[in-house]
């Protein structure tokens, strides 16, 4: 266990904001996670688990505890039959590299989640998803360190209580588990239409009528490249706001004034709105608010153009939330976690 004091968190966040961590330590093995927790507990210090820093923002005060930077490697086939292949992947593996490996193996299930930044172990935390797929569809189980019992446990898919961009790791058991590996069961069948609307439109526009995992992956990468800024060049956390979930009566009310408002049926009388559409219709697309620019190609994304502090980001967030609430009566929420 190698502890480093007073490490600036902004150097590990794709938004490039945040004060120092009291301590930071890399974990290359599950056992190192337990060691770091033992150290933190002996000094009554809080712990925060960090992957790629692409879906988390840090405040100006930093973190008065220990940040564990997850670097656990591994990619192994653990089961194989005529219809599927099951792989176990270390939590520190880069997510997009995991997707590429499965696509190269001609496996379906996560190819539409290509080019999402971050680590593999972070994917279940917010039930990562894109273009009609989400990690809950393929995740069979995961292994984790349970900080309450100081043991390593296996959680099945149902134990994670997945929902739209949510799980026990963000909700009821936030801070309890540190994911060390995930197990995915992937199909050997080729992807089949109908695809998610934006992806289907891409195929229609490009005259694509035959589909493989690689074709879907390349299409998603092309779409994302054109609508999402590279955090290495323009500091951002990807989609900063979740798509809003509303009841069907609210959509009927809204469509009396906005008949073209896009919505996606989620069942049980609930619908998902395009928060990017709401922000754009509220006149905020391309605007710079407290140093944060609402991306002109995807209004869900906030780019740190000149913000010097987390306070600037927080002020921009609250202003955007307020404008959307005042115009539509819809409450939108931040997607990235906070440290």
Determine the pLDDT at residue 165. Answer: 87
**Cross-sheet strand order for the sheet of 245-247:** 245-247, 270-273, 263-267
CATH of the domain at 144: 3.30.465.10
Give the active site residue among 239, 293, 299, 317. 239
Residue 46 lies in a domain: yes
DSSP 258-284: -TT--EEEEETTEEEE-HHHHHHHTT-
Q: Quick one: which of 185, 169, 158, 145 has its CA closest to 33?
A: 145
Determine the pLDDT at residue 94. Answer: 96
Q: Is-above-0.75 flag for pTM? A: yes
Residue 325 lies in a domain: yes
Domain limit, last residue, from 24, 55, 70: 70
* 239 tagged catalytic: yes
Residues 246 and 38: their CA atoms lie apart, in Å, by 43
Domain limit, last residue, from 20, 51, 70: 70
Q: Quick one: which of 264, 229, 269 has its CA closest to 243?
A: 264
Contacts of 153 (CB under 8 A, 6+ apart): 143, 144, 145, 146, 177
The CA dihedral of 311, 67, 230, 261, to the nearest 10 degrees, is -60
- What length does the chain have? 339
Residue 337 CB neighbours (<10 A): 19
* 237 tagged catalytic: no
**Are 94 and 53 members of one domain?**
no
Residues 50 and 4: their CA atoms lie apart, in Å, by 15
Can you name the residues that pair with 94 across neighbouring β-strands? 119
Q: Quick one: which of 171, 91, 100 has its CA closest to 139?
A: 91
Tens place of pLDDT for every residue, the chain, 339 residues? Answer: 789 999 999 999 999 999 999 999 999 999 999 999 999 999 999 999 999 898 899 999 999 999 999 999 999 999 999 999 999 999 999 999 999 999 999 999 999 999 999 999 999 999 999 999 999 999 999 999 999 999 999 999 999 999 988 999 999 999 999 999 999 999 999 999 989 989 999 999 999 999 999 999 999 999 999 888 999 899 999 899 999 999 999 999 999 999 999 999 988 999 999 999 999 999 999 999 999 999 999 999 999 999 999 999 999 999 999 999 999 999 999 999 888
Residues 123 and 170: their CA atoms lie apart, in Å, by 12
Range of the domain at 313: 236-338
CATH of the domain at 64: 3.30.43.10
* 280 tagged catalytic: no
Give the active site residue among 16, 88, 165, 293. 165
**Are 152 and 97 members of one domain?**
yes
**Are 61 and 124 members of one domain?**
no
Can you name the residues that pair with 294 across neighbouring β-strands? 302
Give the active site residue among 214, 253, 280, 335. 335
Contacts of 51 (CB under 8 A, 6+ apart): 70, 91, 92, 118, 119, 121, 122
**Are 258 and 291 members of one domain?**
yes
Determine the pLDDT at residue 278. Answer: 97
Q: How many domains does the chain have?
A: 3
């Amino acid at each position: 266990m190698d502890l480093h004091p007073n490490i600036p968190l902004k150097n590990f966040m794709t938004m490039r904001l945040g004060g120092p961590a009291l301590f930071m330590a890399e974990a290359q093995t599950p056992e190192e996670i337990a060691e770091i927790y033992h150290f933190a507990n002996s000094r009554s210090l809080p712990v925060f688990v960090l992957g790629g820093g692409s879906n988390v923002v840090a405040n100006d005060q930093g973190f008065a505890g220990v940040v564990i930077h997850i670097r656990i490697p591994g990619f192994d086939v653990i089961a194989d039959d005529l219809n599927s292949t099951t792989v176990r992947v270390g939590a520190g593996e880069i997510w997009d590299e995991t997707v590429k490996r499965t696509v190269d193996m001609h496996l379906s299930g996560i190819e539409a989640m290509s080019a999402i930044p971050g680590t593999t172990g972070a994917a279940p935390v917010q039930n990562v998803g894109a273009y009609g797929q989400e990690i809950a569809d393929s995740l069979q189980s995961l292994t984790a360190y349970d900080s309450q019992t100081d043991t390593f446990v296996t959680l099945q898919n149902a134990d994670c209580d997945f929902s739209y961009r949510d799980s026990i790791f963000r909700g009821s058991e936030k801070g309890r588990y540190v994911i060390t590996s995930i197990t995915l069961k992937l199909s050997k069948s080729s992807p089949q239409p109908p695809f998610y609307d934006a992806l289907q439109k891409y195929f229609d526009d490009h005259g694509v009528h035959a589909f493989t995992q690689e074709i879907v992956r390349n299409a998603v990468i092309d779409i994302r490249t054109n609508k999402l800024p590279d955090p290495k060049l323009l500091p951002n956390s990807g989609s900063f706001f979740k798509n809003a979930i509303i009841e069907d009566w609210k959509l009927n009310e809204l469509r009396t004034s906005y008949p073209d408002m896009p919505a996606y049926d989620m069942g049980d009388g609930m619908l998902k709105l395009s928060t990017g559409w709401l922000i754009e219709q509220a006149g905020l697309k391309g605007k710079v608010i407290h140093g944060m620019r609402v991306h002109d190609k995807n209004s869900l994304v906030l780019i740190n153009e000149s913000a010097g502090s987390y306070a600037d980001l927080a002020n921009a967030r609250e202003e955007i939330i307020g404008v959307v609430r005042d115009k539509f009566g819809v409450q939108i929420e931040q997607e990235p976690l906070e440290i």
